[in-house]
Amino acid sequence: MKRALITGITGQDGAYLSQFLLGKGYEVWGFLRRSASAEVIDSRLRWLGIERDIRMIDGDLLDLSAIIRAVQESKPHEVYNLGAQSFVKTSWNQPLLTGMATGMGAANMLEGVRIAAPEARFYQASSSEMYGLIQEPIQSETTPFYPRSPYAAAKLYAHWMTVNYRESFGLHASSGILFNHESPLRGIEFVTRKVTDAVARIKLGLASELPMGNLDAKRDWGHARDYVKAMWLMLQQDKADDYVVATGVTTTVGEMARAAFAHVGLNAEDYIKIDPAFLRPAEVDVLHGNATKAKEKLGWVAETSLAAMIAEMVDADIARHKKRIG
* Residues marked as catalytic: 127, 129, 151
Q: Which of the choices ligand GDP, ligand NDP, none does residue 141 contact, using the CB cut-off of 5 to 8 A by kind?
A: none
Q: How far apart are CA 115 and CA 100, in angstroms?
A: 20
What stretches of 96-185 adopt beta strand conformation (E)?
Answer: 121-127, 172-178, 181-182
Q: Which of the choices ligand GDP, ligand NDP, none does residue 290 contact, using the CB cut-off of 5 to 8 A by kind?
A: none
Say whether residue 289 binds ligand NDP (CB under 6 A).
Answer: no
- For residue 39, the SS3 value is helix
Q: Interface mask (CB under 6 A) for ligand GDP, residues 280-299, using x and -?
A: x--xx---------------
Cβ contacts of residue 149 below 8 Å, gap of 6+? 88, 91, 92, 129, 132, 280, 282, 284
Q: Interface mask (CB under 6 A) for ligand NDP, residues 143-182, using x and -?
A: -----------------------------------x-xx-
Q: How far apart are CA 221 and CA 251, in angstroms?
A: 8
Site for ligand GDP in 43-82 (CB under 6 A): none
Residue type, position 238, single letter: D
Among 50, 125, 228, 318, binds ligand NDP (CB under 6 A): 125
Q: How far apart are CA 298 and CA 242, in angstroms?
A: 11
Q: Which residue minimizes CB distance to ligand NDP?
A: 11
14-51 as b/e, with b when 16 or more CB fall inside 10 Å? Answer: bbbbbbbbbeeebbbbbbbbeeeeeeebbebbeeeebb
Say whether residue 254 binds ligand GDP (CB under 6 A).
Answer: no
Size of the site for ligand NDP (CB under 6 A): 27
The DSSP letter of residue 139 is B
Q: How far apart are CA 155 and CA 164, in angstroms?
A: 14
Site for ligand GDP in 192-251 (CB under 6 A): 194, 212-214, 217, 219
Q: How far apart are CA 41 and CA 290, in angstroms?
A: 35
Among 46, 169, 270, 278, binds ligand GDP (CB under 6 A): 278
Q: How far apart are CA 144 and CA 291, in angstroms?
A: 16
Q: What phi-psi label fits residue 49: left (phi over 0), alpha (psi between -120 and 50 degrees) or beta?
A: left
Among residues 41 and 257, whose Cβ is nearest to ligand NDP?
41
203-220 as b/e, with b when 16 or more CB fall inside 10 Å? Answer: beeeeeebebbbbebbbb
Only segment of 76-84, 135-143, 194-202, 286-294 that touches ligand NDP (CB under 6 A)? 76-84
Only segment of 8-16, 94-102, 188-196, 311-319 that touches ligand GDP (CB under 6 A)? 188-196
Q: Which of the choices ligand NDP, ligand GDP, none does residue 187 contact, using the CB cut-off of 5 to 8 A by kind?
A: ligand NDP
Total H helices, total E strands in the chain: 13, 13
Say whether residue 272 binds ligand GDP (CB under 6 A).
Answer: no
Say whether residue 169 binds ligand GDP (CB under 6 A).
Answer: no
Q: Interface mask (CB under 6 A) for ligand NDP, residues 39-58, using x and -?
A: --x-----------------
Among residues 97 and 311, whose Cβ is nearest to ligand NDP?
97
Say whether residue 66 binds ligand NDP (CB under 6 A).
Answer: no
Q: Which of 165, 163, 76, 89 is nearest to 126 (CA)?
A: 163
- Footprint of ligand NDP (CB under 6 A): 7-14, 33, 35, 41, 60-62, 82-86, 101, 105, 125, 127, 178, 180-181, 187
- Footprint of ligand GDP (CB under 6 A): 88-89, 129, 180, 189-191, 194, 212-214, 217, 219, 253, 278, 280, 283-284
